[in-house]
Amino acid sequence: MKVALFIPCYVDQFYPQVAIATLELLEKYGCDVHFPKNQTCCGQPMANSGFEHLTQGCSDLFVENFTGFDYIVCPSGSCTLHIKEHLGVPGIAKKCYELIEFLTDVLIVDDLKVKFPYKVGLHQSCHGQRGLKLAQMSELNAPPFSKVERLLDQVEGLELVNLDRKDECCGFGGTFCVAEEALSVRMGQDRIADHLKNGTQVLTAGDMSCLMHMEGIIRREKLPIKVMHLAEILNGAEISVAEPVS
């Protein structure tokens, strides 16, 4: 299975450990993983700001880099959604998967064999949840499911924290985070407060952008929460934080 790794631009530049964890996870499950090296960005930051008409260059580059693979896998729901909804190339869109759904739906991972003995708070990133339907949405009168939780349930020792508001937006929102700085930060603070109140030791999500925003606040306010991408936990990262559960 020939898989192209689609790494969001900011993950490439700021969070290489997340990309490495994604790569190793896919390799662990037998994928032949390639990293098309001229990839840059999906174009979402421009498109969400109203500049979709400027993204042709990014789109062409994306198609050029990602043609000829069985699957395209990305550790971000938001970037994946952009490719699926706005790139306008059906052949690429149908091969493009967010990492979690690729693990549950294509690789059918049911025995992770990793340990993570901590209280983990899951942030449901909106684009992954409401856009890609990675988990049931709290607004709908429909049966619950969660692809992420199906994987986290397989992690030994991991205790998932119950939040007061399980799928409220963190306030990152792309350029919203600077255009509406005060509001964005306030939304992030409220999300973090929910995690603090309910005992989160490690805050995780499928999107590093939400986490980058919340980590920025956590570090500024010196709060006792560690931030990690889901790929790192699922790949068996070993960390040290105060008071493991068991």
Partner 1 sequence: MNHAELAENFIKDGERTTWHDETLWFVRKKRDLAAFQIPEWEALREAASQIKHNGLSHMHEYLIAFEEKATANGIKVHWAMDALEHNQIVHRILKENSIAEIIKSKSMLTEECHLNEYLIENGVDVVDTDLGERIVQLREEKPSHIVLPAIHLKKEDVGETFHQHLGTEKGNKDPQYLTEAARQHLREKFVSRKAALTGVNFAVAETGEFVVCTNEGNADMGAHLADVHIACMGFEKIIPERKHLGVFLRLLARSATGQPITTYSSHFKKPRPGQQMHIVIVDNGRSQQLGREDFRNSLKCIRCGACMNTCPVYRRSGGHSYHSAVAGPIGSILAPNLDMRKNADLPFASTLCGSCSNVCPVKIDIHDQLYKWRQVLVKEGHVPFGKKVAMRAMTFTLSHPGVFKTAGKMGRKMMGLAPFTVSNGLNPWYKQREMPAPPKESFREWFSKNRNGQ
| Residue 33 φ/ψ, nearest 5 degrees | -95, 130
* CA 19 to chain CA mean position, Å: 11
What are the two backbone dihedrals, phi and then psi, of residue 74, each rounded to the nearest 5 degrees? Answer: -135, 130
Closer by beta carbon to partner 1, 74 or else 155:
74
Question: Using CB under 8 A, which residues numbered 222 to 241 contact partner 1?
Answer: none
Asked whether position 58 contacts partner 1 by CB under 8 A, the answer is: yes
Contact 24, 232 (CB under 8 A): no
Q: Least distance from C-beta 159 to partner 1, angstroms? A: 25
**Which of 194, 154, 147, 146 minimizes the C-alpha distance to 170?**
194
**Minimum distance, C-beta of residue 111 to partner 1, in the bound complex (Å):** 26
Q: Report which of 204, 21, 25, 33 is spatially closest to residue 109, judged by C-alpha positions.
A: 25
CB of 57 to partner 1, least distance (A): 3
Counting contacts by CB under 8 A, is residue 178 touching partner 1? yes
Q: Write down the least CB distance from residue 181 to partner 1, Å.
A: 4
- Compute the least distance from the CB of residue 20 to partner 1, in Å: 7
Structure tokens at 209: 């952008």
- Distance between CA atoms of residues 138 and 75, nearest Å: 23
Sheet with 159-160, edge to edge strand ranges: 159-160, 119-123, 202-205, 226-229
Residue 2 in contact with partner 1, rule: CB under 8 A: no
Please report, as residue ranges, which positions from 60 to 79 form the binding site for partner 1 (by CB under 8 A). 60-61
Question: Which of 63, 154, 160, 168 touches partner 1 by CB under 8 A?
Answer: 168
The set of long-range contacts for 87-90, using a CB threshold of 8 Å and a minimum separation of 24, is: 87/42, 87/43, 87/59, 87/62, 87/63, 88/59, 89/59, 89/63
Which lies closer to partner 1 via its Cβ, residue 87 or residue 158? 87
Q: Which of residues 125-154 bind partner 1 (CB under 8 A)?
A: 126-127, 130-131, 137-142
Q: Does 55 bind partner 1 (CB under 8 A)?
A: yes
Smallest separation, CB 155 to partner 1 (Å):
24
93 binds partner 1 (CB under 8 A): no
What does the per-residue mask of binding to partner 1 show for 17-46, with x meaning CB under 8 A? x-xx--x----------xx-xxxxx-x-xx
